[in-house]
Every structure is written in structure tokens, then in C-alpha cells.
Amino acid sequence: MSEISKAYEPQSVESKWYQFWEDQGCFTADPARVSATRPAYSIVIPPPNVTGVLTMGHVLNNTIQDILARKARMDGKEVLWLPGTDHAGIATQNVVEKTLKKAGQIKHRDDLGREALVAKIWEWKETYGGIILKQLRALGASCDWTRTRFTMDPEYSRCVQKVFVDLYKKGLIYRGKRMVNWCPASLTALSDEEVVMKEQKGFMYHFRVEVVELPGTFLTIATTRPETIPADTAVAVNPNDPRYTHLVGKYVYRALPLDVPKEQRIIPIIADDHVTFDFGTGVLKVTPAHDKADFEIGLRHNLPVIDVLTPDGKLTAEAGADLAGLDRFVGRKRSAELLEAAGALDKAEPYTNNVGFSERADVPIEPRLSEQWFLKYPSVEASKACVAQPGSDAPAPMRFFPDRWAKVYDHWMGGIQDWCISRQLWWGHRIPVWYRDSEVYCGLETPAGDGWTQDPDVLDTWFSSWLWPFATMGWVDDQDADAKNATLKAFYPTTDLVTGPDIIFFWVARMIMAGYEYMGDLPFRNVYFTGIIRDKQGRKMSKSLGNSPDPLDLIAKYGADALRFGVMRAAPLGQDVLFDEQTVELGRNFCNKLWNACRFRQMITGEGTQSEAEINPALLTSDDRWVLLRLDQAIREVTQALAEYKFSDATTTLYRFFWNEYCDWYVEASKAVIYGSDEALKVNKVAVIDFVLGQLLRLFHPFLPFITEELWHGMGFAQDMPDNQGGKTLMFALWPKPLSDDEKEYFGLDDTADAVAQAKYDLVSLGRGLRRDCKIDPAKKIRFTVRPAGTLSPSDVEVLKMLLNAEALEVVDAAWTSERGTPVAVNALGELFLPLAGLIDLEAERARLTKELERVKIEVTKVQEKLANPAFAAKVPVKVLEEHQARLQEWQVKEAQIAASLANLAA
């Protein structure tokens, strides 16, 4: 801290210390150090997309993980925070393909072919893949970078294949032709979780079809998708619908395509319970190829399947000459026009319905019949039972924070559906299955012999992510080897997982099942779900909206500590975060205040020196005792808040203690001693300040790692510490403990030890109020008179004088009487007079006192009424009763004193 600048300048400080920590191996976890006295703490990072860049969501998520990790280190634990990235199949392949297309290098991925494209993606990954990990360093994340993993590392890929083969052999993975969610943009199947429902404005088309056996009789059908009419293979009615029962078993002429003779467009009228009476016209067109429910109906009634859509969502020749080749949405409009032209369209009314969208590509998915690989989830029962349910006392090994997410989890686990794990992509883990004629081989290596071809599909990205907690720790699915794996032994199961509730199903639930299946144990003990970062208007932050600030810009502008503090302050447990740059500004201001508070301390005795003296209890002033008790309280609150993952509570406490209590009152009061002439008191004051600041820096460190480290060293705190307890870095200093009973006794801190100072500060505020009410320039030194209720120590008098900015403070006894109309403020400490010697505006003073009296009377009445209620005294706990009685007395004393002043004024 040489050359102490007036304002904190984070940039150089941050890079310096990060480099130091990393060079010194401070983040590196060593399983060999784990012991009974040094327990393990571990956390695996939710791996960001390898091509991603840091977002505000990452900032929130990783700051929390860093706080937990740093706190655990200060608790003396051996900490592993394991970082890495995810290959993110669709997202990454899309990014690279798009870039290549933009650069004009390809028009379609087939131009390159599988191997060349995958090579390009690897190239891309090597170039840009590390960006987000570098950005995490700028945030201060204390990850063990020596263990950085990627879901397509060779060892990791091996794990994925082994798991596939194992589950295949267990009969849990199977291949089948099913209706799946097809993404016409990415040209791949998706899992149900990758489909999001969105409201879509469109039209409900009502069109007529003629009954073959009853010419001139028509059925009206309502549909939102007329382009699929050529794929209809039946129309269905409810078997109990009296309007239509007589028609069941007859036939209709399908409305499209028109270029096919109507004799070739005859489809049956069938009865099926799926059809509801009161929706639309009660007649359903059945399109087995393009609707999940219709497909089921088709199975029940043995209907043929006509597919009129290509994989990329265009209409085929089977849709008729008028529609062939058209995009599905163009085809929709066109087919409506065709119906209208044929006189078959009754009406088209505006209609809003929910449509499934591909989460990634943001286009409507198509239900599509195709051959895919599916997984029947393993270890479902154990996984379902392991999470503590809210309100239940049943012991459970895993807890969710907030616990309401456990219900969501439970619900999903209860209705769990097989997982479509194959993707028609090139970037990812290739399915380890080979075919030769009708032979199928599943194994880790290409089977011997000629003529085998490997399945072209890759696995869903989450099929690798779900192994993350143990695959990253070197698990190889070999009993002997895994038993000898020191990392797994020490750090699995992990302690905490920090992630967003939006991936409970995608990731959290699947990790739990994989953990039980392959490690025989849960993957983590606590799951903390963050909120979602939104902008001031409550909109989710997204690239497309452009409402997401670049965290790196914020770090450059305000510092990483400021960003961390601001975000933590704004992020209460389980609530979404409405982000506003102002909160980062507040963090910046806070760091600056901390910097200057330390600068003030340094100015007393010079830089980098700690006071030699121990705190001498005999020389403690009421202010010292007050601040020690407030510190004690802050330590309790912050420790408790962190244990409950209440990060915004912790920052609130830190803010209050440091700014409102330490700076605003204690430091200001201490100036009476520091600028005074009593050397012994001064030495003791510095000792107290150093003690408080030393504890404070520790409390702040998990939140503000950079500035606290800088100050820790700059102020010389590191000098006297053993290397492993803060001598080298604040990272390993011990987390502050609340004062023990012995310490409290030693310092003379009983529960009321802070009362004098508290009353003193209250009286100062009242005195300042008097000044203002009397319109006296705050800068003007004036005289005050105090008549203490009890006794006041000389130091208390000095502090009062200092804080009131008084020229002099005269202490008088009960015999003293003030001049008529002298403004006075009263509290438990005594009466504070502002003698104005003839300058008093009697009218104004009367008005002031009258107003004050009214206010006090209201309070008196309020308490009196409560106490007057006979039921109150009878039922209320003694403590509350006493509290009310004491409060009444306080207000009444005040009332009497104000009344006396008013009387004095009138006399």
C-alpha cells in the first residue's frame, strides 16, 4: 500500500493478486492433505459452453461458488473447485457452421463432410474455447485450473462410451422407431426437455369434407395446420357424440391435394375417445405422421402413415403439386387458399395456441417418426428418494435451497419418460454401436471383421454432462482403479452444487441418477439454485434482446470486487435478480470506502505497521466496547447467513457493520482520542481499530477477494501470521469466530456494554437535529450543555463534543437550570441543551416542541392502550410485557421533559 491513492484503483491490484494466487498454487486441491482435522470441500462448476462468453448469469453463479470455496478455505478445509467446459453439441456446431457459411467457406455442412467439419470445430475450440475460463479468472474465481476438464477430453469421452455400453448391456438403452421432437432447423431429434412451449398467433381454419356415402352431407373440421391435410388418413369423432355416431364407419373425401382425383382421396370416419365434443367442431382430422396424439390414434385404428414433410420442414410431392416444395408455413397459407378456392373453407378465425419450439434454434419443432436411441433412466428410485422434501422431517442425504425446488424435482421424477439420447449431429460423442447387415454391435472399439459401419449419430450433450461430478475426477469405471483414485475418494460426493433451476431436469436430476448408478452414492449434498438475471424491466437477459451488459466491461469500469458485491447484494435466496448497473456502482463505492477506512488507519501511525500493543481492557472506552460487540454480532450474522446460502443477507450485514457502525460512528468517535493528547488511550484505540479491521478483512474476503488481499498485505496484517494462516495470503487466514465468553469477560462486554455508546450516538443525532431545527450552520462551532442522567466519563464527553462539532460541551448537574426557551433533546443518556443566549425564536421553539410532544404522545397512547387491554397482560409472555412497560416509561419520561420545556417557554 505504498503510495496510497485517494481512490481505490482495482485494475492493477486484481491482476497482480490473481497471478500471485495462481502462481503460488493457492487454488490447487491436494487429496493428500485431507484428514479428520482438515475435511474436504468440493464443488464442480456447471461447465459453460466451450464457445461461450461470460454473461451476468455466469457472474452470479460463479461468484456464489467462489464465495463458498473461499469461505471453506478459511474454515481450514481442503477445497476443490473443479472447472471445465461443455462441448455443447448443437450450440457449438451451429456457431461454427454459421461462421463458415458467413465466411463463404461452405454453403452446407456436406460441403466439408463429417471429418473435416469436426476438425474445423476442434480448431475453433482450441482458438476460442478458453475465453470463458480466462474471464472467470478476471472475476476472481478460485478454481483449481490444473484440473480443468472438457466433456470431449479423451478420458472423458471414454467414460461416456463406457456408460453407454454398460446401459446398453443392462437393457436400459434401446433403439426404436418413435414419434420424436424434430428440429427442422438443426435437423436433429431433441429430447422433450429441449422443447419449449410458446404462444403463437395463427388461425383456426374450418373446412368442409363431403361424406362419400351421403353426397351433399358435409362434416366441418377445425384445424390450425391445413398444410397437413394431404397427410390425413382418417377423420375422427368421439364415439358418444350423437351428432356423428351415424357417420362412423362411413368415409369422406379428403380435401387435399386437389390434383389427385377424389376417388383416390377417400379416408374413413372413425370413433376415438381422444376426440372431445366441444372443441372445434368435434371432428378431428387424423394425421399420424405429423402429430403425436394422431400417431397414437393411427396405431389404435391401423391407419396408414403419409409423411408430407421433409426433414427441413418443406412439403413433399405427396402434398400435391400445389404445395410441393413449399416451406411448411408458406404451405399453410397456400393450402388455406386452395380450400377457399375449392369452396371448402368455411372460415378462418384468428387463434392463439401453444406450439413447441426448439429451444436452441427457436423454430417450431415437428413431431416426426424416426429411428432413435432411447434411455430408460437408471437408479430412479434411489434418486427420487434422496432429496429432502419441504415440510418433511424424514432424513434425506440431499437438500435443495430453496427447498421448494425439491417438489418440482419430485414431480418430474414421478412422471419420468424415456430419454431420446441420439442426435443427428456431427459434433459430439459418436454412438458406440456398429452395424453389419442385421448384426448390431455395441462396444468400446470397432468390432473385428469387415463390413461394419458405425451409427452416424452422436449423443445428446447432457448424456456426457450427467457424468460430470465423477468423470472429471478421473473415474474410469474400474472397481480397483476407482477405489485407488485419491481424488474421488477425498472429494466425491461433492459438497455443494450451484446452478439455475432451469436445468433441474436437464442436468441436476440426471447427475443424481448417474451418481447412484455409477458411484453408488449421490453426487452432491446441497444444491443451491440461483435466480435468473433479468433487466430492470424484468426481461430475461439475452443476446437477442441486447439487454445483457458485458461483465468484462463492468469489471473494467468498476472492478471485479464491485461487480461481485453488487450482484450478491441484489440476489436474495431463490428470487430472480433484476440487475441494474447501479448496484455495481454501489459495490465500487463500497470498495472505495473500505480503501479509505484503511487509509485513515494508516495515517495514524504510518504505513504498513500494526500496533505493537495488545488491547488493554482497562483502557477501553464505551465506543470500543460498542464496536467490539457490533463486530461480534456481524460475525455471527455473516457466518449464519453463509451457512444458509443467504448471500444478500451477508452483504447487508457487512454493509451495515462496516459503513453505518464502524465508519459512521466508531471511526468518527475515535477521532476524539486520535486527535487528542492521551497517548495511552491512543495506542489502545489503534489496537482496537487494528483488531476490528483484521477481522473485517477476513469477513469481506470471500466477497471482495482482491481489495481485501491488497489491504491485508498493505496494512501489515500478513507479517505476524504463520504462512498457512494468512502469512502468505488472506485466502488461508482463519474465518473470524464470535467472541467467546472468556473474551467477553476479559474485555468487560456484557449484554449491555454497548448501551452507553448507543445512547451517546442517539443523543448526537438528536443534537444535530436541534442544530438543524434552529437553522445553525453545521460547520459552525457552537456550545452545548449536557445534563447527564447518570454519570458521563470524560471520554464520553469528548466524543459527544467531537460528534456534535461543538466548540465546548459544558456538563452540568441537576441543580442547573437553562435559560427560558433553550432547545433541548432528551434520551436515556441525559438532556442536551443548545443554549442560544438571546437568539432563540421563542415561537419557533414552541412550535418545534409542540410537534415533538404530539409525536411522543401518540407513542405513549399506543403503548398504553396495549397495556390497558386486560387480555394482553394475562396472555402475553413476561418478556414482551416488560418490554412494553419499559417502552412506556421511556416515552413518558420524554413526554414529561418536553412538557416541562414547553412550560418553561411559556413562563
Count of positions on this chain that bind RNA (CB under 7 A): 84
Contacts of 127 (CB under 8 A, 6+ apart): none
CB of 872 to RNA, least distance (A): 4
Q: Any contact of residue 597 with RNA (CB under 7 A)?
A: yes
Chain positions 748 to 767 lying near RNA, rule: CB under 7 A, are 764-765
**Phi, psi for 779 (deg, rounded to 5):** -80, -15
Which of 281/610 has CB closer to RNA?
281
Q: Any contact of residue 362 with RNA (CB under 7 A)?
A: no
591, 631, 654, 759: residue in contact with RNA (rule CB under 7 A): 591
CB of 671 to RNA, least distance (A): 7
87, 332, 430, 599: residue in contact with RNA (rule CB under 7 A): 599
Helix, strand, coil shares of the chain as percentages rounded to 5?
A: 45, 20, 35
586, 654, 759, 834: residue in contact with RNA (rule CB under 7 A): 586
SS3 661: helix
Cα(516)–Cα(496) distance, rounded to whole angstroms? 17
Chain positions 123 to 182 lying near RNA, rule: CB under 7 A, are none
CB of 873 to RNA, least distance (A): 9
Which of 221/619 has CB closer to RNA?
221
Cα(530)–Cα(508) distance, rounded to whole angstroms? 13
Exposure string over 449-480, b if 16+ CB within 10 A, otherwise e: eeeeeebebbbbbbbbbbbbbbbbbbbbbeee
Chain positions 241 to 280 lying near RNA, rule: CB under 7 A, are 274-276, 279-280
Q: Any contact of residue 193 with RNA (CB under 7 A)?
A: yes
What is the pairing mode between strands 524-529 and 399-401? parallel
Task: Answer whether 552's CB lies under 8 Å from 54's CB.
Answer: yes
Q: Any contact of residue 777 with RNA (CB under 7 A)?
A: yes
Per-residue binding letters, 403-422, with RNA (x by CB under 7 A):
-x--xx--xx--x-------
Q: Any contact of residue 108 with RNA (CB under 7 A)?
A: no
The three cell numbers of residue 776 are 445553525
Chain positions 198 to 237 lying near RNA, rule: CB under 7 A, are 222-225
112, 380, 578, 853: residue in contact with RNA (rule CB under 7 A): 578
Q: Any contact of residue 557 with RNA (CB under 7 A)?
A: no
CB of 535 to RNA, least distance (A): 10
Task: Answer whether 87's CB lies under 8 Å from 122's CB.
Answer: no
Chain positions 680 to 739 lying near RNA, rule: CB under 7 A, are none
Q: Any contact of residue 889 with RNA (CB under 7 A)?
A: no
Query: Hey, CA dihedral for 616, 617, 623, 629, is it positive or negative?
Result: positive
Closest by CA position to 81, among listed 69, 72, 71, 73: 69
266, 880, 896, 906: residue in contact with RNA (rule CB under 7 A): 880
392, 446, 616, 869: residue in contact with RNA (rule CB under 7 A): 869
215, 343, 606, 778: residue in contact with RNA (rule CB under 7 A): 778
The interface region with RNA, picked from 3-11, 62-70, 302-310, 447-455 by CB under 7 A, is: 3-11
Q: Give the Å distances, CA to CA, from 529 to 222, 404, 508, 644.
A: 44, 10, 10, 12
Contacts of 825 (CB under 8 A, 6+ apart): 763, 766, 767, 769, 770, 831, 832, 834
Question: Could you tell me the strand order of the sheet in which 173-183 lies?
Answer: 188-190, 173-183, 366-375, 419-420
Which of 275/345 has CB closer to RNA?
275
**Phi, psi for 95 (deg, rounded to 5):** -60, -45
Which of 17/205 has CB closer to RNA?
205
Q: Any contact of residue 285 with RNA (CB under 7 A)?
A: yes
What DSSP state is assigned to residue 427?
Answer: S
220, 652, 864, 904: residue in contact with RNA (rule CB under 7 A): 652
CB of 276 to RNA, least distance (A): 3
Q: In the 3-class helix/strand/coil scheme, how is 807-854 assigned residue by residue?
A: EEEEECCCCCCCCCCCCEEEECCEEEECCCCCCCCHHHHHHHHHHHHH
CB of 287 to RNA, least distance (A): 8
Chain positions 814 to 853 lying near RNA, rule: CB under 7 A, are none
Q: Any contact of residue 508 with RNA (CB under 7 A)?
A: no
Chain positions 47 to 76 lying near RNA, rule: CB under 7 A, are none
